[in-house]
Amino acid sequence: MSDLPEHLSIWGELADVDHELRHVEVGGVRTRVLRAGAGPDLVLLHGTGGHLEAYARDIAGLAADFRVTAYDMVGHGWSELPDHPYTIDVLSDHLLGLLDALGIERAHLSGESLGGWVAAWTAAHHPARVARLVLNTPGNIANKAEVMRRLRESTLAAVRDPSDATVRRRVEFLFHHKEMVTDELVNLRRAVYSRPGFLRAIDNTLVLQDPEVRRAYAWDPGWVGRITATTLLLWTDHDPTGGLDEARLLLGWLPDARLHVIEDAGHWPQWEKPGEFLRAHRDFLLLEKDPT
């Protein structure tokens, strides 16, 4: 029907695709996982303070060609919230533990924002586990103090006061077209941010926005240059966390990378431009031969 909106709801996006939502024990951490499709393994990683619904508009399309796994990282979404800092090595170890728990020897990784950072770190330090790599608006490659401050303050404000107004502002930060932010998406975030213990969990996540802590994991050609996986940089023209100058930095550091820019989108192209997001993944992951 022509009068139906393009996006009905998260459930509407998944209504016609067979999928499984369950919790998996990963190193003692109860971890929420959604899986769909068949084919080469593709794991999707969300950003800071996020959850697997960040990919709701993409899972059905990706499941046509891949066995898709989306999950809530440790300390995020409806996964468990152990009380210790969620530094990049901790988040990477949790990802590797999930691969082991699901019997995945090697997978494509596609990570957005913090998820891109975790995916890149994993590819650099555990190359045998990563087939191809998509870094989707990975954010603040230049480690700018102002970007760190803004992300920390906006996220803390929303978790301390998970009202509609403050959480909506946090979600709108991710979008170029802010009118696309739905009540459903805001209320999901409000539910996550209202979980018992989540304020402590977000403190444990935001240690990465402390320059002293960040220094050990900061984007740097020393470790980025060790990534052997062929890499797609998926950027946008309205990303509030980093411009195309930062994409060019990564292109210079990565041994085998190419850039695709999605126009008219912000930090979440997977939601604002799902068609182009899907095409970019298919073209990169399926149509080009993997040299290994």
8 A C-beta contact, residue 96 and residue 122: yes
* Beta-sheet strands, E only, within 102-220: 107-112, 130-136
Q: Are 250 and 257 in contact (CB under 8 A)?
A: yes
Residue 113 annotated as catalytic = yes
CA-to-CA dists, residue 91 to 196, 236, 292, angstroms: 21, 25, 26
- From 41, 72, 93, 239, the catalytic residue: 239
Q: Is 170:157 a contact under the CB 8 Å cutoff?
A: yes
Is residue 16 among the annotated active site residues? no
110 is catalytic: no
**183-193 and 198-205 helices cross at what angle (nearest 10)?**
100
Helices (H) and strands (E) in the chain, counts: 13, 8
Catalytic choice (113, 176, 260, 281): 113
Question: Which position among 46, 94, 267, 281 bears the catalytic label?
Answer: 267
CA 13 to chain CA centroid, Å, is 18
| Count of residues in the chain | 292
Q: Catalytic positions, please? A: 113, 239, 267
